[in-house]
Copies of this chain bind each other. A is one copy, B any other.
Amino acid sequence: MRANTTTSAITGDYRHALEARAHPLKSLDTLAMIRPCHRSQEICSQDGPAEYVYYVVFGAARRCVLRADGRRQIVDLLLPGNFFGFTGGDAYDSSVEAVSEGTLVARYPRRRVEALADADPELARELRQVALDALSRSRAQLLILGRVTAVEKVGSFILEMAARLSDGNTDRVVLPLSRYDIADYLAVSVETVSRSLTDLRNRGVIALSGTRTIRIVDRDALEEGERAGTRLH
C-alpha cells in the first residue's frame, strides 16, 4: 500500500507531491509515473490509444476540441485533484494539454487499473466516483454556458474557480488560465472576457492585482449575477 520512492520514471522528486495528496486511487500510486509538463504541452491526444488514466498533482490542464472553423473550445478544466482520461472506448475522445508551466501529472496504466478494479469493489466504486466527478464538472460548465450575459458567465466562472482552487481563502483566486483560455472555456470572445472583467472591477464587484489574481469583493453581486448584470435605469 505504501508507495516507495524508488519507482519514479523521470525523477523521484515529484513523487512526494503525489503522495502528499489524498485521492481515490491512492492504492495505485506505486503504478504511477509522474511527469512535469511545459505550457501547452499535449498530455494525451484525441483519437490516440487510451492507455493511461491521469491525475493532476499540480498546475492545470485543459481538455480541448478543435472545430472545423479553426475555433477552439475547452470542454473541461482539470485542476489539482482531478482525474482524466477515462473513456468508454479504446481511444481518447479529446486531447488534453497542460495549461501552466510545470504542471505535474501522474499517469496510471489504464488496463491494470481496470483489472485491479475487477478484483477490488472498493476501487471499482472509486472509479465510478471519478467518472461522476467529471460529469459534475461538465454539468457545472453547462450551467455557466447557459447563462445569458457574458458578465454573468465570467462571474460564475470566477466563483467556480474560487471554489475549486480554494486554499482556505475563497475570496482570492489566482487564475491559471489566460484570457484566451477563459474565452474558449466560456465560448465567448477574448475581448468580451476582458471587458466583462473590467466591468466587474469598475462596479466594485471584484478587484484585480495583475492580470491573474482576482479578489472577490462583493460575492453576493457575483452570485446573483442577474441583478448585477441588468442595468436598472
Q: Which of A5-13, A26-34, A128-136, A194-202 is the interface stretch? A: A128-136
Q: Which residues of B contact A94 (CB under 8 A)?
A: 139
Residue A224, interface by CB 8 Å = yes
Main secondary structure of the interface of A (DSSP, over half): helix
CA–CA, A146 to B129, complex, Å?
A: 27
Q: Which residue of B lies closest to A89 (CB)?
A: B132
Residue A91, interface by CB 8 Å = no
CA–CA, A226 to B136, complex, Å?
A: 30
CA–CA, A59 to B141, complex, Å?
A: 27
Q: A75-B142, A127-B128, A135-B138 are in contact. List 17 more A-B contacts (CB 8 A).
A: A68-B226, A69-B226, A71-B148, A73-B142, A75-B139, A75-B146, A88-B136, A93-B139, A114-B125, A117-B124, A119-B121, A138-B139, A141-B142, A142-B142, A145-B146, A145-B187, A147-B187
Q: Which residues of B contact A221 (CB under 8 A)?
A: none
Residue A190, interface by CB 8 Å = no
User: Hey, which bits of chain A sit against chain B, CB under 8 A?
Assistant: 65, 68-69, 71, 73, 75-76, 86-88, 93-94, 114, 117-119, 121, 124-125, 127-129, 131-136, 138-139, 141-143, 145-148, 187, 224-226
Q: Which residues of B contact A145 (CB under 8 A)?
A: 142, 145-146, 187
